[in-house]
Structure 1
């Protein structure tokens, strides 16, 4: 376990434009991995190596890179901030041990900040907060700290205070050593350790006292000394207490920086090593033994049999297909044979690589706690568990949101039809939120993704990377259906073909779910063995399959409850498949009587703008069927929060630029599905 204590598998997550790619670039520079300061504005960053990332100045796919700081190996995954690429954040968080949450000192908590924060909560990931862009006009460290407490309900504790702000930001006060760190060189490599400026001493003492008071709640040593003699508390004791509290997610340390101005990054690296967990601090993960179907605990140990999770597929021009793997147990070596949980087949490992963003170096092995890449694995997808063939296990899968927008697409040239199919198959391997369907009625190919930007990027990739030009139709919304009234129905499925026949009879209640959760709630209330137990799963499967096509316009049913009340069998003619057919047929008849309604996706929209544009922009949101939820002033900018149906937001970013002369910006985050007004629903159904 000695080696794994020196690993840090960390992610960097944030809202768009909080500066996380710049933070990563500075980390690579100060750890010696790069020798030139990359800039998002100049399009020469290491992490955003994709041409579209350089063009748009945003991160699209999560990049992975390995670097070193104070004898610790740090595997960094720089994740996108744009909501359209939330799958990249989701799959990265699944395999990380800790994360740096970056916030802009001016903008504070924004909608996508909340989304990624909640994703990190879902996976119980310890984190530290970096309040970046302290050099920006309107930067306010204390306001952002309070916003994080109020809006994210997080127990954040500053371990630094900024020295100055905006153009006067020169460094930070370290509340643990009670020294000021002042940057004095253009490239930020050197900084002076000084006494705290006299005008900040009172504020620093007050902040340090708050930190010690908080830590005393979680550490007995700090508590005893804090009560008797606070001055006797040592730096090492604070580090120990803060590390424990951070790992247990009781406290989240907060630091300050201006990454673009090369200030504050070295203390951030120290904090990553000091406070974020190593794989040894997360001693085990849960899995299911394929042999016994029982839950097992897999400990992070090189002595155990191998278990790992494929969390991303990359198609590289030079190395071919790369499978990024987090190793949870054992050691992975070139030449090993592994078992794939999804296919049930064995795969042989040829070469292993360490990822250096857009460069790769060959390694002999990847051990427990580490992240690496396997070259040339066939039929492996995101979320597949890879394990030792003699001890097959299944790790928790990565769950992804459903795509919400689609385009009908076709190759411009008949010669490129096959080429388009191959390209789409490769893109789907890389991106689990991308789906390709064939519309049963029109025969059109429908490409679905998370939003306009997501699909725009995919279509540009088809052209640039695969040389396939396409025609696309108007955007299509991923509507869903829901039932509003309960219906009791009896269905008899009967068939006679001369020999043995088919028979199944079921009585069930079809109703809306009361808990509002998506999917099927299936309740078996059959008494006295009227339907044998082995046929019940087939009934459930029949309803699950039937939900994929609703009764109104063929859209999937978002959620429903089925109570299986009674049924009947034929002694010789009843089979499991008959009950599946009965459920499917019964659903079609009952669904029409259950008063189905149409649902549409709603987005949470936050617009930032100068105050003089508020009236025209809120008026435009109202015209799009938006509901204004709040207007507030933050650092001389007006912030408008609204809920708007996705159908009203196509092309919105371009319209917003026109309305504000390019001075407004919008953030769109998926919120939920809501009922479509009857008049609009009728048009959608008629169109569909």
Structure 2
């Protein structure tokens, strides 16, 4: 019997049925013996009080389970990620450490905005994907429309491995297009699968979609193309499965299956597909990292023979076990008692225990090896994105991208007695969720909490109240604006101080203004010739400008982008130091940026609203009232779908307003689209 690992994430839009699907996966793999349901608030993956109350996933849950297929036991690590845009960091850090994903779609809603978001996040990481079209029993379910949606909206090539037998109330089972058999689930818990011949009235449809599958495989796989074109060759089931595996792992096309997780139909074939088509960790490309000292690129095979390396993708503070660092091991192995290094801090520490997560339960392990996802205890100061490695051979792996917050709120404890613990709790929640930023307003002395959306902040404040017993007063939500320069100026900045002994001297001349491209951040061009400023001081000039961008000239908001060209300057052989040039750059920015006609930028959200025909007028008028622009109005399954771009400042309270406006008959989802210039009539009220 051989052991094999699959690290999978479950990604989807809110309410596509991710958590229900995860629950069924755990039931059929034997990890749990009773099926939980989101509506009943008793699922294994959603353990948090709020997750149960709200019926949504907030933090990504990790669980390890096993599936038997063809005499092999497969170890499957499943991470159920949130579907709500406000918890995008949870999805990002999960995708960073997973090898493949199961993308879940609602059969009646199809591809929704957050599905697109997480899909393209997975694309960025080069993650293999399988699609599962869920809720085939729902009113308006249309498997073939969702296939088209995947193709058009996600720019993907879907390969249907199954087609449904019936839909909505008459959904009975699926047709396996590889083996050309009909599968039916006959008992309530869906454990017994009966295989039958394909019903007569579905046969021609099944043949048509099987041919589409074979044509797709021939198009994306040379070996299969030769067999497909050679009529003498018999195409076997094994041949098709091996080709699906190659095409899926290359990312050229994605296998699509269907079912109804709630009705316990279609789960076992999905588990079979996960272990058959998705890659094991050692089948992926070599890991790449850098030597922290020399910056030299290191490439290692993902096996146990190489030195240990791993990445901390989450920090959880458990009330019984204390601080747990969730770790994906990429190479080598570790045992309890081993000493490892945190490459970011350069510190070494001893691992107390290695645990396997079974959602809210844990299992002690003797060792963790390449490909495993484990939790470590005894790790001080580890943050999300930290690389851990062997002390002898440190390797710095690519960090995890944390999105910038777009909304903030002022907070304070209701009672003075909670003041001390309030600070500790804020530090703790920031450790667990790095997309939260806590800062003090220099002018007012208020504590400001920034996050990725209204729901994100609401959930965080509720967590402080429920988990830590601290009641909080909060101000109105405020938008995190940004600033931009709209004109270019040339400026000279000279720093010259004599204070007895060695002085300070730096002299720089530079051009400052907007970037020519739409890129973010600082574009720094060094035009210094003839050593008028020594080469070793140039990085300090760049560092000074980069630091200065954190606080713009209008209201102190960060600058979205800026271009600086260093033209000329001078230095003093005794008095000049790197720090002097950094200070000159910061001071020069403060003086020059004000002359560059700075403007405010505001976050603009892409909003999708689904409603019924009769509310069209009210919704359109409301979008216009919020300074929104409608980009499209579509119709699907008898519902109107509005896509619009609305400034974040106009979306506060939108969810409850929309419910009132449509008598609860509309749903809304939002994601950050871009930053745009704030109109003058609004900017004037903000800048005064």
Distance of 2:158 and 2:526 partners within structure 1: 46
Distance of 2:159 and 2:679 partners within structure 1: 46
**Matched residue SS, 1:465:** helix
Deviation at 1:572, TM superposition (A): 1.0
Equivalent residue number for residue 340 of structure 1: 342
Equivalent residue number for residue 35 of structure 2: 37
**In the alignment, is the contact (CA less than 8 A) between 1:14 and 1:113 conserved in 2?**
yes
**In the alignment, is the contact (CA less than 8 A) between 2:282 and 2:301 conserved in 1?**
no
Equivalent residue number for residue 249 of structure 2: 247
Distance of 1:205 and 1:97 partners within structure 2: 33
Equivalent residue number for residue 479 of structure 2: 477
Deviation at 1:231, TM superposition (A): 7.6
Distance of 2:41 and 2:447 partners within structure 1: 35
Alignment counterpart, residue 572 of structure 2, candidates 566, 570, 573: 570
Deviation at 1:498, TM superposition (A): 2.2
Distance of 1:400 and 1:218 partners within structure 2: 35
Q: Deviations over 1:152-177 (max 9, x none)?
A: 11011111101100001111111100
**In the alignment, is the contact (CA less than 8 A) between 1:222 and 1:233 conserved in 2?**
no
Distance of 1:11 and 1:293 partners within structure 2: 32
Distance of 1:500 and 1:556 partners within structure 2: 34
Equivalent residue number for residue 400 of structure 1: 402
Equivalent residue number for residue 24 of structure 1: 22
**Matched residue SS, 1:302:** coil
Deviation at 1:220, TM superposition (A): 4.1
Deviation at 1:206, TM superposition (A): 1.1
Matched, 1:79 2:77: no
Distance of 1:496 and 1:233 partners within structure 2: 85
Q: Deviations over 1:389-448 (max 9, x none)?
A: 111110000011101111111111112111000001110110010110011111111011
Q: Deviations over 1:16-70 (max 9, x none)?
A: 0000111100000111111111100110000011110000000000000001011
Alignment counterpart, residue 434 of structure 2, candidates 426, 429, 432: 432
Distance of 2:634 and 2:41 partners within structure 1: 34
Distance of 1:589 and 1:214 partners within structure 2: 61
Equivalent residue number for residue 11 of structure 1: 9
Alignment counterpart, residue 118 of structure 1, candidates 113, 117, 120: 120
Q: Deviations over 1:566-591 (max 9, x none)?
A: 11011211110110011001001110
**In the alignment, is the contact (CA less than 8 A) between 1:95 and 1:326 conserved in 2?**
yes
- Bigger Cα displacement from structure 2, 151-160 vs 83-92: 151-160
Equivalent residue number for residue 170 of structure 2: 168
Q: Which runs of 4+ in 1 moved over 3 A?
A: 218-221
Equivalent residue number for residue 633 of structure 1: 635
Deviation at 1:221, TM superposition (A): 4.2
Equivalent residue number for residue 270 of structure 2: 268
Alignment counterpart, residue 604 of structure 1, candidates 595, 606, 611: 606
Equivalent residue number for residue 302 of structure 1: 304
Distance of 1:184 and 1:317 partners within structure 2: 43
Distance of 2:295 and 2:110 partners within structure 1: 46
Distance of 1:230 and 1:273 partners within structure 2: 31
Equivalent residue number for residue 240 of structure 2: 238
Matched, 1:548 2:546: no
Equivalent residue number for residue 65 of structure 1: 63
Equivalent residue number for residue 687 of structure 2: 685
Distance of 1:547 and 1:492 partners within structure 2: 19
Map residues 453-464 of structure 1 onto 2, 5 A cutoff. Answer: 453-464=455-466
**In the alignment, is the contact (CA less than 8 A) between 1:218 and 1:241 conserved in 2?**
no
Equivalent residue number for residue 537 of structure 2: 535
Distance of 2:13 and 2:31 partners within structure 1: 26
Map residues 92-107 of structure 1 onto 2, 5 A cutoff. Answer: 92-107=94-109
Distance of 2:550 and 2:497 partners within structure 1: 25
Deviation at 1:550, TM superposition (A): 0.6
**Matched residue SS, 2:405:** coil
**In the alignment, is the contact (CA less than 8 A) between 2:658 and 2:664 conserved in 1?**
yes
Distance of 1:230 and 1:360 partners within structure 2: 55
Q: Deviations over 1:255-311 (max 9, x none)?
A: 111110100000000000011111011141110012322011122111111101000
Equivalent residue number for residue 651 of structure 1: 653
Distance of 1:565 and 1:200 partners within structure 2: 73
**Matched residue SS, 1:403:** coil
Distance of 1:316 and 1:166 partners within structure 2: 43
Equivalent residue number for residue 313 of structure 2: 311
TM-score (norm 1): 0.98
Equivalent residue number for residue 179 of structure 1: 181
Distance of 2:662 and 2:191 partners within structure 1: 40
Equivalent residue number for residue 46 of structure 2: 48
Distance of 1:492 and 1:220 partners within structure 2: 65
Distance of 2:231 and 2:581 partners within structure 1: 74
Change (3 A) 1:641 1:230: farther
Equivalent residue number for residue 222 of structure 1: 224
Distance of 2:489 and 2:50 partners within structure 1: 51
Deviation at 1:512, TM superposition (A): 0.6
Deviation at 1:218, TM superposition (A): 3.5
Question: Structure 2, unaligned stretches of length 5 or more?
Answer: none
Distance of 1:572 and 1:322 partners within structure 2: 51
Q: Deviations over 1:600-625 (max 9, x none)?
A: 00000000111111110111111010
Equivalent residue number for residue 354 of structure 2: 352
User: Aligned Cα RMSD in Å?
Assistant: 1.1
Equivalent residue number for residue 669 of structure 1: 671
**Matched residue SS, 1:8:** strand
Count of paired positions: 684
Equivalent residue number for residue 380 of structure 2: 378
**Matched residue SS, 1:153:** coil
Distance of 2:427 and 2:482 partners within structure 1: 26
Alignment counterpart, residue 619 of structure 1, candidates 604, 618, 621: 621
Distance of 1:560 and 1:69 partners within structure 2: 53
Change (3 A) 1:154 1:651: same
Equivalent residue number for residue 329 of structure 1: 331
Deviation at 1:482, TM superposition (A): 0.2
